[in-house]
Structure 1
Amino acid sequence: MALVLFMILLASAGGHIYQYRARRQQQRQLEYAAQKMHRIIAEHTGEKLLIDTDDPSMKAVLREINALLEHNQKTIAAYRKMEISKRRMLANISHDLKTPLTVIQGYIEIILNDANASEEEMKTLLTKTNSKAAELSALIKKFFELSRLDSGDKEIAVSRVNMNELCRRNILGFYDVLTKKALQVKIDLPEDPVYGWGNDEELDRVLHNLLSNAIQYGSEGGVVGLALRSNDQTVFIDVWDQGKGIREPEQDRVFERLYTLEDSRNKAYQGSGLGLTITKRIIEQLGGRIYLESKPYVQTVFTVELKKISF
């Protein structure tokens, strides 16, 4: 009887010792996790917690903490990228607003100070001033438009759009420009009508911008193309050219606010850098997406994807 009691006490003591050791190990793990997390947060490091325990519950907790840390690190990285983009955008806004304002101010000073200027000279200066003022007004309008799209203040009504007609209408709108530049035009539209979810007015703006860019930046290739294709769920509109293209390092940035290519400050390539950003926002609000593929002097193609309406 005494032996049995001794064995029971021994087993009980062993159980208590095991539980004590388990609690101590768990406590050490919690202390380690708390100290490591404090250092990670304070020093903004990309470290993770070491999972060195046999306790299934503790393993699960540490895994979830690591997932939270990873999410937090991605959020911080995205925020930093946004801050850099914002600073770059503000610098570009300052440049793009200052340039026409400086020119306008220069013309006005000449008008005010040149008492000997002829009526014809005055008319020329006023015409140039008006042109620069219109350019400035258009730029400010684009800033306002992008602001509304980003904030969600602009609602775009979505309805059925005949994509064949949309493409025909927009390429015909550039007939005079294409003829003047002697550009070859390649159009690939299906015989049967293709319908997609969109907005006629906004998609006109999108295609006008893409075709305008293809003509302006891709005219060296001598050809501009427009193609419409689809599958069971999606409509694809391709606008392409065979010009100088966009280098791979710049391809991910062309849709950023006010991003322009290296030579876009040259007169022949000037632009506000807002057109593609606005285009992307419009397509996203229509439930689609836009992307770019470019091989210089082979093919540069912007592809718009929208939801297809099937009957």
Structure 2
Amino acid sequence: MTLILACSTGILALVVILLSVRLHKRSTHLTYIHEKLNDIIDKGTFERLLVFNSDPQISQLLKDMNQLLDHAHRAMAGYANQEKEMRNMLSNISHDLKTPLTVVLGYSETLLHSTSLTDQERVIMTGKIQDKAQEVLRLIHSFFDLAKLESGDTELTLTRVNVSELCRLKMLSFYDMLTNLGLQVELSIPENDVFVKGNEEALDRVLDNLITNAMKYGADGKVLGLSLDYSLGEQVTLSIWDRGKGIPEQEHSRVFERMYTLEDSRNRLYQGSGLGLTITKRLVERMGGSIELHSVSYERTIFSVALIPC
């Protein structure tokens, strides 16, 4: 009996010791977590916590905390990038508005104060003022359109749209402009009607932006193409392409950013606001689609829009 009691007492003591050691380890781990998190918060380092394998529950907690820190780090990086992008956008907006307004003010001042101008010179200057005022108005409309798209205030009603017919009509409307630029047009549109889930007005603007972009920046390739590809049960792919100078590969991820233009704008004769492709991407995404770029200099620069068949 005494032996049994002694064994029981020994086992109980061992259990107490093991529990004490475990509690001490857990206390040490919790202290480490507390101090490390405070250090991360104070220094803003987003370091990761050391994961202890000796305690499954503490280990899982640390893994969850590291995931949370990863998420916070990505969110902070995204916020910093948006702040930088917004500062650049405001700077570009100021520049883009200042340039035509300076021209307007210059010509209007000349008209007001110069007494030696002929009637023909006055007509020419008035026309230039009108052109620059329209440029400012288009730019302001683009800023508002992008702001509404990104805020979610613009409602896009999605219906069944005949995208093949829309493409034919759009290319027909650009025919004279393309001919005047000396551009050869290559079309690949199925004879049968192709329908997508979309918004006709939004798709019309997407086509406008992509065709205009190709005309401006790819005219030196002398060819502009539009293709519409569709296999039953698969997505519809609308592509606008040219054989111009193209876009360097390292720039591909940036072409859809707000106010982004290449250093030489692919052609310095055309200085765009840098909002057309951003608006295009937002419109495509609001219709449940996606847009991609592939570019090889003087071979093919192609913007491909994937749409949902209907």
TM-score range relative to shorter protein:
over 0.9
Aligned to 1:283: 284
Q: Which amino acid aligns with 1:277?
A: T
Pairing 1:86-235 to 2, within 5 Å after superposition = 86-231=86-231, 232-235=233-236
- Please list the CA deviations of residues 12-45 of structure 1 after superposition, one character each: whole Å capped at 9, or x if unmatched: 1110010010001001111111111111222222
- Aligned twin of 1:254: 255
Query: TM-score under structure 2 normalisation?
Result: 0.96
Question: How many residue pairs get matched?
Answer: 309
What amino acid is the match of 2:180? K
1:69-80 matches, within 5 Å, as 69-80=69-80
Which residue of structure 1 lines up, in the alignment, with residue 19 of structure 2? 19
In the alignment, is the contact (CA less than 8 A) between 2:52 and 2:58 conserved in 1?
no
Cα pair 1:263 1:269 within 8 Å, conserved: no
Partner of 1:35: 35
Q: TM-score, normalised by structure 1?
A: 0.96
Structure 1 Cα separation of the partners of residues 193 and 126 of structure 2: 49
- Structure 1 runs of 4+ off > 4 angstroms? none
Tell me the amino acid that sits aligned with residue 303 of structure 1: S
Give the C-alpha shift of residue 229 in structure 1: 0.6
Mapping for residues 45-60 of structure 1, pairs under 5 Å: 45-60=45-60
Per-residue deviation, 1:53: 3.2
Cα displacement string for residues 96-126 of structure 1 (whole angstroms, at most 9, x for unaligned residues): 0111111111111111221222222222211
CA-based RMSD of the aligned residues comes to: 1.3
- The share of aligned pairs that are identical, in percent, is 46
Query: Could you tell me which amino acid in structure 2 is paired with residue 41 of structure 1?
Result: I
Q: Which amino acid aligns with 2:132?
A: K
Give structure 1 stretches of 5+ with no counterpart.
Answer: none
Aligned counterparts of 1:299 and 1:44: Cα–Cα separation in 2? 46
Task: Judge conservation of contact 2:246–2:301 (CA < 8 Å) in 1.
Answer: yes
What CA deviation, in whole Å up to 9, does each residue of 1:272-296 have, x standing for no partner? 1111111111111111111111111
Could you tell me which residue of structure 2 aligns to residue 297 of structure 1? 298
Contact 1:265 1:271 in 2 (8 A): no
Contact 2:217–2:267 (Cα < 8 Å) also in 1: no
Cα deviation, residue 267, structure 1: 5.1
Counterpart Cα distance in 2 of 1:178 and 1:122:
32
